Chains A and B, each alone.
Chain A
Amino acid sequence: MTPYLDYAATTPVDPRVSRFMARFEGPDGFFANPGSDHPAGHAAAAAVDDAAQQVLGLLDDPGFRVIWTSGATEADNLAIAGLARALDRRDSPRRRLLVVATEHSAVLAAARVAGAAGMRVETLPVSGDGLLEVNTLERALDDEVALVSIAPVNNETGVIQNIEPLAAAIHAVGARLHLDAAQAVGHLPDNGLYRHADMVSLSAHKFCGPKGIGALCYRPALRLEPLLQGGGQQRGMRPGTLPVPLIAGMGEALQIRNDHDERVRQRGLQQRLRQHLEALGGVVINGRGDGSAHVLNASFAGVQGAALRAALADLSVGFGSACNSRGGPSHVLRAMGRPDALAHASVRFSLGRFTTERDIDSVAERVAERVRRLRAISPVWRELQAGESIENVYGVTTPLRMA
């Protein structure tokens, strides 16, 4: 088995979480429907309540309500499309929705649905390093803005947005802030980040919990239209019998989420990988040095994207986002001003709790060997080696910093 460096796509379930979840399976487990008014149902409901407390503990704010969803994609859809439909029903004057250009495809797709519900959707540009500048946001804000959606940690580049001043600007005009925090849990210090938000999307499988469970946390003053119709579970906001083992597993995964020491360990691994790649030369890092420790995104100059994917096909690394795997250049890197050819020749290395130094060295060695070989037959690399600038070769005017 080759080393796995695609933690941003999904993580393995921590064995401690698996053991915990096993308590909820089988005839002796807490298998009952938590909506049932009998002792077994009450026991299952208590397990769900315990997990909700873990979520509220993460958010460090008891003022949120928790809606269990299938993951962050559904949570993003409920937050954005659900709010848009509710605003439409109430004929609200707030009809503008702002999304960052580098958001996850779930947010961008939900924004398109919101557009169909009468919202005016606008995209906020980012700087070349992927950051949303406060003044860029401020210029776009007015009293018609209903919602701004921002990912605190970008899923492709690991870029960390400076949420506190952005949130202040949003709330100053009476708008609401949605955080797609799928990549943030365990990767940012628990320093009150979520208190700035009105809605937060979470996904358990991004932090060593089970797949198929997530949550939308929202302020009770917000009105959302449910996406699904059915029974009255979860106050009618998301009908359907609750998957108690998954919910309990998510709660346990939150309990043991990465701490400071683990983040420091991951930063060391990330730096080790970065040193390996930069030693290769001709590498453009897509992101910032102060980004999340679990993601390193690099483009390899002189190498064609499809060839790179083929040459690295035996490595478990990410190309763009696994959630948007149609093969074209990443919309995130395009938004950061990378030319298509360089965006296409990018690799997202994402590491996690079970990644070792040996994994990093092994993957880096194989990447270096394949990239060197592809460059050896590339006329583009020959020209770069002969002194042509990367901007000339790739036909861009924005300066590109190549290590």
Chain B
Amino acid sequence: MDMKLEPWNAESLGAPGAAQGWIHGAAGRVADGCRVDCWLSAGPGGIREARFEVFAGPEAMRAAAWLADWLAGRSVKAAEAVTGLWLAGQAGMPDEARGEGLCIEDALRSALTAVAAGEGGSEI
């Protein structure tokens, strides 16, 4: 994503227009001030497109948008290697926001679990 952009305006944030064909995972709690949902469109070649919904601070939005761009075209195996710590470093998250990086990782893992389970009608 364009890092100068206000993160809430990133194109890869927000739920997909129609949920059909997308696989969904969620992590975090409203009470903790961080809830992230991950939406993946995946096929035999890997991840076609990723989107994130973010109820968290602007750093988490920026990191989630960066990760969505990064995930597009990657293999599931590459996606499974993503950690919150790695993401925080790649997306330049400040130390105090790194907990939100873990929340993004957890949302991605939740969606990848659904991918592995073959939910959502997508083929890997």
Contact = CB atoms under 8 A, between A and B. Distances in A.
B63 to A, nearest CB: 13
Nearest to A392: B30
B36 to A, nearest CB: 7
Interface residues of B, number: 23
Contact of A378 (B6, B29, B55, B57): B55
Given A344-B33, A379-B26, A310 B53 contact: no
Given A307-B58, A310-B57, A379-B55, A373 B8 contact: yes
Interface size class of A (residues with CB under 8 A): 20 to 34
Interface in A360-403: 370, 373-374, 376-382, 393-395
A311 B30 contact: no
Interface string B38-79: 000000000000001111111001000000000000000000
B54 to A, nearest CB: 6
Given A310-B58, A373-B8, A339 B53 contact: no
B53 A377 contact: yes
Interface string A7-41: 00000000000000000000000000000000000
Contacts of A377: 8, 13-14, 52-54, 61
B57 A382 contact: no
A121 B57 CA distance: 36
A340 B31 contact: yes
A380 B30 contact: yes
B9 A307 contact: no
A379 B57 contact: no
Contacts of B57: 304, 306-307, 310
A205 to B, nearest CB: 32
A313 B9 CA distance: 15
A341 interface: yes
Contacts of B33: 304-306, 340-341, 344
A302 interface: yes
Contacts of A394: 30-31
A378 B53 contact: yes
Contact of A341 (B6, B31, B54): B31
A373 B29 CA distance: 21
Given A304-B56, A379-B53, A341 B30 contact: yes
A304 B55 contact: yes
Contacts of B29: 395
B37 interface: yes
Interface of A is mostly: helix
Contacts of B26: 379
B15 interface: yes
A306 B61 CA distance: 11
A348 B34 CA distance: 23
A370 B31 CA distance: 22
B49 to A, nearest CB: 16
Interface string A344-355: 100000000000
Contacts of A376: 14
B124 to A, nearest CB: 24
Contacts of A370: 8
Interface string B18-39: 0000000010011101111100
Highest count of chain B CB atoms <10 Å: which of A302, A376, A379: A379
Contacts of A307: 8, 54-58, 61
B67 to A, nearest CB: 14
Nearest to B39: A379
Nearest to B28: A379
B6 A311 contact: yes
A328 to B, nearest CB: 10
Given A304-B56, A344-B33, 15 more contacts: A302-B55, A304-B33, A304-B54, A304-B55, A305-B33, A307-B55, A310-B57, A310-B58, A311-B8, A341-B31, A373-B9, A376-B14, A377-B8, A377-B53, A395-B31
13 contacts: A304-B33, A304-B54, A310-B57, A311-B8, A339-B30, A340-B31, A370-B8, A377-B8, A377-B13, A377-B52, A381-B55, A382-B15, A395-B29
